[in-house]
């Protein structure tokens, strides 16, 4: 699923601009991270892609087709979204019921549903919890169930809207592992919206947003090395990069290259 923003501007009535003249392309099958501090307009981009909001000016193209109010529903059923709060998106009374929720809406036959639930609960390592209640699960586990529920619908695109921001470190780790595995196994378009710099490491493309504009766009490595730009956007680069910067002397070359491998092939 290819998504293209052309000079999109958005604001709520009588408010200052939330997004100003934004243009970018998200290619099909790629993983794109959108990073920025709180209130920078990241979530507004998701809402624009999902068609919950419509731009004030500019156009959004999905698969080279201009998005209008008439065709947004056709696109929307090809998008899955995982929200911030794992509790507020758990619909079913058990894990199994919750993964089935979207499938029931899609009117998928029962037997096929069982196969899909089995497949995707295994993918997120929740297959031993199928009959558990949400109260007995940790935040990370609940979020993994939400991911399985979205993946089971087999949409072309999955959006993670700050899916890790309400989790403890273990939960964050669980979700990031799932994301990495997803990127390897499934040829889905993934958009990850985050304010955690470490989460951009394994994406193909990164958009840095600040005050409603795109301040940088590129490969994660290039973004991470641009420390001053990240600082300007209220973000900080990862510790390894800081260390590498400090060590960039010829005699530490081998250590630096080792650190690189460690960071980007993790």
CB of 234 to another protein, least distance (A): 26
Residue number with CB closer to another protein (76 or 180)? 76
CA 239 – CA 246 distance, rounded (Å): 11
User: Could you tell me which of 149, 189, 142, 150 has the C-alpha nearest to residue 170?
Assistant: 142
Question: Is residue 66 packed enough to be buried (19+ CB in 10 Å), middle (13-18) or exposed (0-12)?
Answer: exposed
CB of 123 to another protein, least distance (A): 17
How many Cα atoms occupy the beta-carbon half-sphere of 258 within 13 Å?
Answer: 5
DSSP code per residue over 186-233: ---EEEEEES-GGGGTT-SEEEEEETTEEEEEE-HHHHHH-HHHHHHT
Residue number with CB closer to another protein (93 or 266)? 93
CB of 224 to another protein, least distance (A): 31
SS3 state at 109: coil
CB of 58 to another protein, least distance (A): 24
CB of 178 to another protein, least distance (A): 18
Residue number with CB closer to another protein (24 or 101)? 101
CB of 110 to another protein, least distance (A): 6
Residue number with CB closer to another protein (69 or 249)? 69
Residue number with CB closer to another protein (78 or 211)? 78
Q: CA torsion sign, 144 to 150 to 153 to 159?
A: negative
Residue number with CB closer to another protein (52 or 66)? 52
CB of 150 to another protein, least distance (A): 7
Residue number with CB closer to another protein (110 or 184)? 110
Binding site for another protein (CB under 8 A): 50, 52, 76-77, 79-81, 83, 85, 87-94, 96-97, 100-110, 113-114, 117, 133-135, 149-150, 153
User: Could you tell me which of 6, 18, 102 has the C-alpha nearest to residue 53?
Assistant: 18
Task: Report residue 151 as tokens.
Answer: 């993946």
Q: Which residues contact 28 (CB under 8 A, 6 or more apart)?
A: 1, 2, 63, 156, 189
Q: CA torsion sign, 168 to 181 to 98 to 29?
A: positive
Sheet harboring 19-26: ordered strands across? 19-26, 3-10, 57-62, 65-66
């Amino acid at each position: 699923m290819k998504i293209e923003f052309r000079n999109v501007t958005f604001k709520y009535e009588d408010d200052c601009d939330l997004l100003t003249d934004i243009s970018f392309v998200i290619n099909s099958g790629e993983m794109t991270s959108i990073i920025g501090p709180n209130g920078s307009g990241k979530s507004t981009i998701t809402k624009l892609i999902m068609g919950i909001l419509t731009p004030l000016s500019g156009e959004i193209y999905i698969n080279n087709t201009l998005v209008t109010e008439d065709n947004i529903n056709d696109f929307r059923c090809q998008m899955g979204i995982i929200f911030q709060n794992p509790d507020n998106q758990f619909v079913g009374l058990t894990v199994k019921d919750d993964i089935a929720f979207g499938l029931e809406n899609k009117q998928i036959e029962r037997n096929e549903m069982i196969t899909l639930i089995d497949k995707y609960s295994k993918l997120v390592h929740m297959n031993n919890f199928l009959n558990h209640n949400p109260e007995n699960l940790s935040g990370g586990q609940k979020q993994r169930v939400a991911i399985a529920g979205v993946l089971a619908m087999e949409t072309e695109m999955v959006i993670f809207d700050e899916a890790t921001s309400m989790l403890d470190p273990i939960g964050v780790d669980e979700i990031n592992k799932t994301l990495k595995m997803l990127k390897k196994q499934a040829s889905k378009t993934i958009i990850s919206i985050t304010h955690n710099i470490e989460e951009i490491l394994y994406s193909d493309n990164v958009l840095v947003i600040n005050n409603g504009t795109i301040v940088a766009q590129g490969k994660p490595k290039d973004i991470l090395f641009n420390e001053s730009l990240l600082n300007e956007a209220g973000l900080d680069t990862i510790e390894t990069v800081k260390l590498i910067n400090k060590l960039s002397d010829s005699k530490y070359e081998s250590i630096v290259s080792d650190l690189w491998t460690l960071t980007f092939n993790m």
